[in-house]
Amino acid sequence: MTSARGYLDTASAEPLHPAARETLIAALERGYADPRRLHGAGRDARLLLDNARAVVAECLGVHADEVGFTASGTDAVHRGLLGLVRARSGDGVVHGAVEHSSVLHAVTWQPSPAHASIAVDATGRVDLDAMAAAARQPGVAVVALQAANQEVGTVQPVDALDLPDDVPLFVDAAASVGRLPLPARWTALAASAHKWGGPGGVGVLVVRRSARWTTPFPGDDGIDHLGGESAVPAALAAAAALQAVLSERDETAGRQHRQVERIRACAGSLPDTEVVGDPVDRLPHLVTFSVLYASGDELVAGLDRRGFGVASGSACTASTLEPSHVLAAMGALTHGNVRVSLRRDTTDDEVEAFCAALVDVVTDIRAGIGLTTPRRSPSPPLRSSDEQRRGDPG
């Protein structure tokens, strides 16, 4: 995967996993037909789609008939959340202030939106007591709480949330599927295949058998009761990628945790730089920091010139470089924001090169406005696995 070297924006999209690529190419020969048709080619495509559903269900620990494929992760969020709302008498939604924009847009899209946004602490973790209290108010139909934050990596304590038995819980798990175990308690869950190395254009919606859920969109002629649709080869490739990354998850997460610690230390050593998110209970591959006296687009452009692709602004609206609603809700610095998210095959050498480039870019930008940027204390470089085993000096 040399073409992806220096790409550090996997929170937006992970490069296609080799298992997904191989499966996709093979499935294109068989999965071209409409799986709703009764002719031979249609039945063949349906068999592949059912296989994809069964694999995803096994990976997520659910029943195959609880899994549906959609056109994107955003589509899965909209269908999952609004379908729970539509099946109930009320229309109120309680959600965390740092939810992905797809959740926020779904809430405000309703004809008479009624919602409560629950504050988070400085790490981005939601106030569980406030959320539980809001869920008990009249008219509340659904509570939405993400599994982990897509911008700062903080894991939400979903299973510790105390909700009334009759209030369903919607979980956006796009940032965490394939990287962390899922929470146990939820009613409907959404994910996005390109976050774990599957092809783009494949969302996953999981709705418990016991849930009251109704398709929220008119004229929905999807492949199953969950509505939505995805190309059969892409769905099968997404399932293959998920199966592969789960088999590698512990090893990958351990390496990425160590690499992210190195980046956190490097960024934290720069004066007037704020590293955000929970330092421990977080996604293994992601780190976000904000640099004073430097704009996000300057930092992205400077790092890109040095061969590193990173993100800035809100994870939902990065094309406009709008200030992050997540950082604002946390009370963190929104100016000069950089989000780094590692590939599954990011090397220690890449991390070291990125750290050096980051110091150079920040120094150059600040020097342009007459500021100097001394580092507080140099951080030791990462040691390779072989060096750690031998006990060689790092």
Query: DSSP states of 330-373 as a string?
Result: HT---TTEEEEE--TT--HHHHHHHHHHHHHHHHHHHHTTT---
**Span 101-122, average pLDDT:** 89
**116 lies in the same domain as 143:** yes
Output the pLDDT for position 375.
Answer: 57
DSSP assignment letter at 99: -
Q: What is the pLDDT of residues 96-105, one digit of tens each?
A: 999 999 999 9
**Quick one: 237 and 256 in the same domain?**
no
Q: Which residues, in sequence order, are CB contacts of 179 under 8 Å at separation 6+?
A: 148, 196, 245, 249, 253, 283, 284, 285
pLDDT of residue 224: 75
Q: Which domain holds residue 304?
A: 249-390
Identify the pLDDT of residue 91: 86
Does 253 lie in the same domain as 239?
A: no
Q: Could you tell me if 221 and 176 lie in one domain? A: yes
How many C-alpha atoms does 18 have within 13 Å on its Cβ side?
5
Do residues 165 and 272 share a domain?
Answer: no
Mean pLDDT of 192-203: 96
Q: What is the mean pLDDT of the chain?
A: 91
Q: Which of 5, 296, 260, 50 is nearest to 152 (CA)?
A: 260
Find, among 105, 139, 168, the residue nearest to 317 by Cα.
105
Backbone angles phi and psi of 259, in degrees to 5: -70, -40
**pTM as predicted:** 0.91
Degrees, nearest 5: CA angle 17-202-115: 125
Q: Give me the CATH number covering residue 376.
A: 3.90.1150.10
Q: Tell me which of 188, 219, 244 is where a domain ends.
A: 244
| 2, part of any domain | no
CATH number, residue 125: 3.40.640.10
Of the listed ranges 23-27, 43-47, 106-110, 340-344, the least confidently predicted one is: 106-110
- Give the rounded percent of residues in the chain with a pLDDT score beyond 70: 90
Answer yes or no: is 113 within a domain: yes
Inter-CA distances, 69 with 18, 24, 92, 102, 203, Å: 21, 16, 26, 17, 6
How far apart, in whole angstroms, are the C-alpha atoms of residue 264 and residue 327?
17
Distance CA 243, CA 23 (A): 12
The pairs formed by 161-164 with CB atoms below 8 angstroms and a separation of 24 or more are: 161/128, 161/131, 161/132, 161/185, 162/128, 162/132, 163/132, 163/135, 164/135, 164/136
Residue 32 phi/psi, 5-degree rounding, is: -80, -25
Separation CA 346–CA 262 (nearest Å): 13
- Please name the residues in contact with 162: beta carbons below 8 A apart, sequence gap of 6 or more: 128, 132
CB atoms within 10 A of CB 293: 17
User: Is the confidence at residue 198, as pLDDT, over 80?
Assistant: yes
Among 246, 253, 282, CA closest to 150: 282
| Percentage above 90 pLDDT, the chain | 80
pLDDT of residue 150: 95
Mean pLDDT of 12-23: 96
* Cβ-contact 211, 191 below 8 angstroms: no
List 341's β-bridge partners, or say none: 9, 286
Residue 369 pLDDT > 90: no
Give a yes or no: residue 57 inside a domain.
yes
Q: Is residue 350 part of a domain?
A: yes
What's the CA angle centered on 254, arms 253 and 260, to 5 degrees?
A: 80
Residue 300, pLDDT above cutoff 60: yes
How many structural domains is the chain composed of? Answer: 2
Residue 5 confidence (pLDDT): 87
**Segment (H or E) for 104:** helix 101-109
Question: Which residues, at least 6 apart from 382, have a Cβ–Cβ distance to it below 8 Å?
Answer: 258, 259, 262, 348, 351, 352, 394
Instruction: Concatenate the DSSP letters of all residues of 154-211 into one string.
Output: BBP-GGG----TTS-EEEE-TTTTTTSPPPS--SEEEEEGGGTTS-SS-EEEEE-TT-
* 316: confidence class by pLDDT, cuts 50, 70, 90: very low
Handedness of CA 324, 153, 155, 143 (dihedral sign): positive
Q: Which residue has the higher pLDDT, 228 or 163?
A: 163
Other Cβ atoms less than 10 A from the Cβ of 26: the count is 15
Residue at 192 is within a domain: yes
**Same domain, yes or no, for 64 and 162?**
yes
Q: What size, in residues, is the chain?
A: 394
Q: Cβ of 89: how many Cβ atoms within 10 Å?
A: 6
Residue 315 lies in a domain: yes
Asked whether residue 41 falls in the same domain as residue 116, the answer is: yes
Last residue of a domain, one of 191, 212, 244: 244
| Domain membership flag for residue 4 | no
pLDDT over 80 at 25, yes or no: yes
Whether residue 20 sits in one domain with residue 115: yes
Q: Where residue 110 falls among pLDDT bands split at 50, 70, 90?
A: confident
Average pLDDT over residues 178-193: 97
| pLDDT computed for residue 113 by the predictor | 67
The residue among 226, 244, 262 that closes a domain is 244
Q: What is the mean pLDDT of residues 39-68?
A: 96
Q: Is residue 144 part of a domain?
A: yes
**Strand (E) positions, 31-101?**
67-70, 92-96
Judgement on whether residues 125 and 209 belong to the same structural domain of the protein: yes
Position 32 scores a pLDDT of 92
Residues 28 and 127 reside in one and the same domain: yes
Kindly state whether residues 170 and 201 are assigned to the same domain.
yes
pLDDT number for residue 1: 38
Beta bridge partners of 7: 309
Token pair, residue 293, equals: 């006296």
For tokens 């659910």, name the residue. Answer: 62
What pLDDT, on a 0 to 100 scale, did the predictor assign at position 218? 81
For residue 151, pLDDT beyond 80: yes
Same domain? 76 vs 223: yes
